[in-house]
Amino acid sequence: MELPEMESMASAIGLSVPVLRFLLCFAATIPVSFLHRFVPGGPAARHLYAAVTGAVLSYVSFGFSSNLHFVVPMLSGYASMVLSRKYCGIITFFAAFGYLIGCHVYYMSGDAWKEGGIDATGALMVITLKIISCVINYNDGLLKEEGLREAQKKNRLPQLPSLLEYCGYCLCCGSHFAGPVYEMKDYLEWTKRKGNWQPTKMGLSPSRYWATFRALLQAAICMGLYLYLVPHFPLSRFTEPVYQEYPIWKRLGYQYMSGFTARWKYYFIWSISEASIIISGLGFSGWTDSNPPKPRWDRAKNVDILGVELAKSSVQLPLVWNIQVSTWLRHYVYERLIQNGKKPGFFQLLATQTVSAVWHGLYPGYIIFFVQSATMIAGSRVLYRWQQASQTALLKKLLVLSNFAYTLLVLNYSSVGFLVLSFHETLAAYGSVYYIGTILPIVLILLGKIIKPARPARFKARKDE
């Protein structure tokens, strides 16, 4: 398509040319992923197809420089596995994140995204996580299984992947555009048609079409809702005098609607990526225990929309929002900071959220949001402990309702920082509602230190046994 035609199409639907080009390439990951199964020549040919199609889609979407940016952390990660297996995990973790931070600072991609532009840093974010998990799992291959966590046992790599396998994993059919993040071991088994993808004695082969159609239908609904809502709740309203004239309940309502509106854009993106991973077959994660058995596509799933919007507790949010990245953070940051024989605490939670903030970019809004999210989750845990220890059904229901309302309030209050990014606008929006979403979690955390509920009777009985 010639550039003038691209410009006219972009202007007709209200997008910039770079964003339209990205969306077209992003949508193309679905047919590209579908064709993966038909590639002749065995696993090597499939690895080559995955790597080449991913690189071509990146080139068309972002330009030649995007692939150069991907090559730097990819090659440094592979080199660390070849040269220093014992320390490759820690080396790659800091080297890959350091390069990503440098790109974030140089391109200031958050500003570009706010103004309708786009660059390759979003895809680099996904590739960074894939590289680190692959290298750490190769590092774990040196360790004995005794004492390892289940995730480490499942994902460890005893042997070094070939360079072709590694490139296919990193760029697979454009899956690095928006995720989801998956493990090297799963990718290798899928490509070789082993594990979950090995034909069963019953001949069961999961049909991908209905699940793909459902994901695409969800994507269409999400984009429709986003396009309808976004003109009514622009982020620019936070800096307009009319917003300051709102009563506090209306300001809180506007913060809720701003977060609610923005989430549908992410739901759309993740629904498209889910369709792509499902149609490729990589998203298949086994069969249900029902009769007849039904296929599960958990590996493709990155968000549970109702789970986010109706979360009863902030603790549930990492399990339903950006699911695969949350899983990555749990396996490669949170769990690895827990000392043997000790329980995790606020430090592990805060460190994990800080890594997530840095991964997104060094904008004050991101850092404030993820620090806020750590206190939000800690405050929600206090409410949950009180709820579990409550002796009456009425009190328990009130605490459940309180935790739901608390999550709704603090999540959407905090998300303003994630959306506006700048320090001044974030503090102005928080200050407009008297920092209620910052103060409330801290108060709950402090009260949790003072009001310590008694251990439920069933736990006492179990301990006595």
108: left (phi over 0), alpha (psi -120 to 50) or beta: left
Q: Is 360 a catalytic residue?
A: yes
User: Which two tokens mark 263?
Assistant: 């989430």
* Distance (Å, whole) CA 27 – CA 24: 5
* Token pair listed for 339: 């000392």
Amino acid at the residue 328: W
Marked catalytic residue, from 36, 69, 360, 424 = 360
Closest to 15 measured CA to CA, from 120, 112, 114, 116: 116
| CA 428 to chain centroid | 28
Vertex 27: Cα angle to 50 and 231 (nearest 5): 145
In the three-class reduction of DSSP (H, G, I as helix; E, B as strand; rest coil), residue 140 is classed as helix
Sign of the C-alpha dihedral, residues 319, 323, 326, 327?
Answer: positive
Nearest to 26 by CA among 100, 110, 101, 122: 122
Distance from C-alpha of 13 to C-alpha of 427, rounded to nearest angstrom: 34
Closest CA to 447 of 384, 355, 383: 383
| Paired strand residues for 209 | none
**Amino acid residing at 323:** I
Sequence-distant (≥ 6) Cβ neighbours of residue 352 within 8 angstroms: 329, 330, 333, 334, 337, 374
Which of 173, 154, 144 is closest to 51 using CA atoms? 173
Tokens of 127: 């590739």
Look at residue 144 and give its three-state secondary structure. coil
Do residues 315 and 384 make contact, with C-beta atoms less than 8 angstroms apart?
A: yes
What token pair was written down for 233? 């709740």
Calpha distance 29→271 (Å, rounded): 12
| CB contact at 8 A, 30 and 276 | yes
Burial of 237 (0-12, 13-18, 19+ CB in 10 A): middle
Nearest to 134 by CA among 164, 161, 94, 153: 161
Q: Active-site residues: which are they?
A: 360
